[in-house]
């Protein structure tokens, strides 16, 4: 059974088509990078696939159940979603924010079961936030906050994590550590679908790349097969060279095409 399956999804706002005929699926043990230029419809596609906004065309299913038939709690137990916008209103301690990841299991802040506690501590450790547990959210840097939100999503312990630009605010060390964390999850049989703008990270760590351009998925396959100089030019409008560096492909971006 597929963790997530989107068939011919389409969505238009005020006559403008944001996503058209998008079909893709997520299986176990995958780290899929969703890439594409600004405004290519990546975030809208994620929302459609999760059923957070209604689709004008096509359908989506999570674990074999159509999203329309899934309650929010059932969905949250199958997929953890980390949106791109992460507003915080109250200066809550880090541990309490991460604990919200257990919401779908009936947990409330300050009232966690033993398994909730284990999941929260595990997520804090995975995002290297030990020592930050009691820090107030408004004393953290943007990158540290990003890791708190990621830990919140990971604390749900779901088979699939869908993350919208999780590494955008992180320094190079944490970007690589986060991608390695995702790759490790994929090796253990869990799956991650992530929007990412750093093409080099996508090329390095993803098991599969979804290329989006003007609302359509224009390519879907392993990095080695889908990364071509011509596609980089067509989709991103950049001139780039691909080098085979002893088995690993490296990307060399020269500038606008």
How many helices (H) and strands (E) would you count in the chain?
9, 12
From 14, 16, 90, 247, residue interacting with other proteins (rule: CB under 8 A): 90
85 binds other proteins (CB under 8 A): yes
Nearer to other proteins, 100 or 240 (CB): 100
Q: How far is the CB of 150 from other proteins (least distance, A)?
A: 12
Query: Where are the alpha helices (H) located in the chain, listed in sequence order?
Result: 42-50, 72-78, 94-99, 114-126, 142-154, 172-187, 199-205, 223-226, 229-231
171 binds other proteins (CB under 8 A): no
151 binds other proteins (CB under 8 A): no
100 binds other proteins (CB under 8 A): yes
Nearer to other proteins, 169 or 238 (CB): 169
Q: Which residue has the tokens 């299913």?
A: 61
89 binds other proteins (CB under 8 A): yes
DSSP string, 137-177: GGGS-HHHHHHHHHHHHHTT--SEEEEESTTTT--HHHHHH
Q: Which residue has the tokens 């991103």?
A: 236
108 binds other proteins (CB under 8 A): yes
Residues near other proteins (CB under 8 A) are 50, 52, 71-77, 79-83, 85-93, 96-97, 100-101, 103-104, 108-110, 136-138, 149, 152, 156
């Amino acid at each position: 059974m597929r963790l997530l399956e989107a068939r011919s999804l389409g969505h238009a706002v005020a006559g403008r088509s944001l996503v058209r005929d998008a079909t893709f699926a997520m299986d176990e043990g995958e780290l899929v990078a969703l890439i594409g230029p600004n405004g290519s419809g990546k975030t809208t596609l994620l929302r459609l696939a999760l059923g957070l906004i209604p689709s004008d065309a096509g359908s989506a299913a999570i674990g074999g159940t159509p999203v329309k038939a899934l309650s929010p709690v059932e969905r949250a137990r199958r997929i953890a979603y980390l949106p791109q916008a992460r507003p915080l209103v109250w200066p809550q301690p880090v541990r309490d924010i991460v604990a919200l990841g257990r919401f779908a299991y009936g947990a409330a802040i300050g009232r966690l079961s033993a398994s909730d506690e284990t999941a929260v501590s595990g997520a804090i450790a995975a995002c290297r936030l030990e020592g930050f547990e009691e820090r107030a959210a408004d004393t953290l840097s943007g990158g540290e906050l990003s890791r708190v939100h990621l830990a919140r999503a990971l604390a749900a312990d779901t088979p699939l994590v869908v993350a919208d630009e999780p590494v955008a605010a992180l320094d190079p060390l944490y970007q690589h550590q986060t991608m390695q964390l995702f790759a490790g999850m994929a090796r253990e049989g869990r799956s991650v679908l992530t929007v990412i703008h750093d093409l080099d990270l996508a090329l390095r760590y993803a098991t599969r790349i979804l290329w989006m351009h003007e609302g359509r998925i224009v390519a879907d396959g392993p990095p080695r097969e889908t990364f071509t100089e011509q596609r980089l030019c067509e989709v991103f409008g950049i001139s780039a060279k691909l080098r085979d560096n002893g088995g690993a492909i490296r990307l060399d971006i020269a500038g606008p095409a």
